Amino acid sequence: MTHFRLENFLLSSLAEDWMSLGDFLFFATRITPRVSTAADVAEVVRDLATRGLIELGGWSDDGRFEVWDVSVDEALHRIAHGFQGEAGYLNGDTGVPGRTEVFRANLTALGEERLSEPGDPYDNYGDPWSEVPHLRIAHTVPPWREADDRP
């Protein structure tokens, strides 16, 4: 099961735009650093997709996002081993996971519904990058809280 705080941030970001493996890694590295390898993050992707919160796909030849009509297991195989010329996180150098465009995730209607339950993660937990000037968000939110009473 995906850590609640990480799930909240991922779904919130997915509500803005499709996300790549590198985007998932970016959030996991800051929010759940003990489980932030590419393999760990692939399991987060598996969990969210299995629960119907996200759909997985890739770029078509004409530059549009296309949902893959395959099982979650097959989608995770593509993400790990590569697909249509894009490297997977298992078959490239150590920099591949952050750069690969092997897949993109998109928020589903169920994911939008799930996101409405906890609300805005920045209001809930603060800005994870509040101490990093070039990454902090533009609007005023509380500073990041490493740990609190919330799950």
| pLDDT tens per residue, range 80-131 | 998 888 888 887 666 666 677 788 999 999 999 999 999 889 888 888 876 7
pTM for the whole structure: 0.86
Going by C-beta distance under 8 Å and a sequence separation of 6 or more, which residues neighbour residue 14? 54, 105, 106, 107, 111
- Per DSSP, 34 falls in state G
26-41 CB burial, b ≥16 within 10 A, e <16: bbbebbbeebbebeeb
- Provide the pLDDT for residue 77: 96
Per-residue pLDDT reduced to its tens digit, 32-90: 989 889 899 999 999 999 999 999 998 888 878 899 999 999 999 999 998 888 888 88
CB 10 within 8 A of CB 19: yes
